[in-house]
Each structure stands twice: as structure tokens, then as C-alpha cells.
Amino acid sequence: MADKEYTYSDVSEHATKKDLFVVIHDKVYNASSFIDEHPGGEEVLLDVGGQDATEAFEDVGHSDEAREILDGLLVGKLKRKEGDPKPKTYESGGSTVTTSDSASMGIGVYAIILIGGVLAFGAYKYLQSQQESQ
């Protein structure tokens, strides 16, 4: 079934909640059975239903688990015709880099807070000892 080819015209006919196809990286997925479980809500899927959702999918930075779920929804591949919109190129794993940068930044913020706390405690103890010695 995943060997079936769909045109943009074919995909665009499947844009309702009960019959929803999306294109991601030139592969066609039937998201009808997943629409109620989608963590971002059904509106997100309905907004890209019947069209190329590659940009929206990659911009969110879906997890490996989400990509596995997507594999289970595969129904075919997109057959591009003259005049179809050109696909945008995406580097695989690009969202992982962003996630790693965010995690590193989060750790840095915690380190700064921890160091600031230690310095504040040290200053408090120092001032306390100064008052006791007077």
C-alpha cells in the first residue's frame, strides 16, 4: 500500500477530519486515525490537511516517537507533476541541534543561579561574622 503514488490533486481531496491526508518529505500519510490523539490538537492537522505539511512538521521539531507514529500512517508517496510547488529542503536532525542548544542553555542558567546562590550565602555568612566580631 505504501508503494501507491498520489498527486497533489489526489491528496487535496483528503482534507476533512474523517479523511485526512498530509504530505511530509514527499511521502503521503493518512492522519485520519490519529487526529484525535494528536498532542497539538486536531486544528493543527486540519490546517495542513490535504497539502504539504513538511515545513509545519519540521518547524515543531517532532520527537523520534512522533516519527515512528508517522511511519505507521504511511500510505504512499507523492508523485510530483509540472507546476506543483517545489519541496523545501530540510536537514535531518536539525531540530535535535536546537533541542541540544536549549538544553545546554538551561544547564548554564542553572549553573549561574547555583553560583549566585553560593556567593550570596558566602556574603551573608561573611557579613554575619563581621557583625558578631564588633
- Tens of pLDDT along 66-87? 999 999 999 999 988 877 766 6
Do 12 and 66 reside in the same domain of the chain?
yes
Burial grade of 20 (CB within 10 A; 0-12, 13-18, 19 or more) = buried
Rounded CA separation 20/5 (Å)? 16
pLDDT tens digits for 1-50? 567 999 999 999 999 999 999 999 999 999 999 999 998 888 999 999 99
Task: Decide if pLDDT at 94 tops 50.
Answer: no
Rounded CA separation 115/122 (Å)? 10
pLDDT grade for 111, boundaries at 50, 70 and 90 = confident
Do 66 and 102 reside in the same domain of the chain?
no
Task: Decide if pLDDT at 132 tops 70.
Answer: yes
- Contact status, residue 50 vs residue 28, Cβ threshold 8 Å: no
Domain membership flag for residue 113: yes
Q: Please report the pLDDT score of residue 97 as a whole number.
A: 45
Structure-derived torsion over alpha carbons of residues 24, 13, 49, 70, reported in degrees to the nearest 10: -40
Do 9 and 71 reside in the same domain of the chain?
yes
- What are the backbone dihedrals phi and psi of residue 92, each rounded to the nearest 5 degrees, phi first? -70, 140
Domain membership flag for residue 65: yes
Per the structure, how many domains does the chain have? 2
- Cα dist from 67 to 25, 63, 122, whole Å: 12, 6, 49
Task: Decide if pLDDT at 118 tops 60.
Answer: yes
Rounded CA separation 118/21 (Å)? 55
Residue-range definition of the domain harbouring residue 119: 98-134
pTM assigned to the model? 0.62
Rounded CA separation 62/67 (Å)? 7
Q: Cβ–Cβ contacts within 10 Å for residue 65, how many?
A: 8
Q: Please report the pLDDT score of residue 16 as a whole number.
A: 93
Do 46 and 103 reside in the same domain of the chain?
no
pLDDT grade for 101, boundaries at 50, 70 and 90 = low
Do 17 and 69 reside in the same domain of the chain?
yes
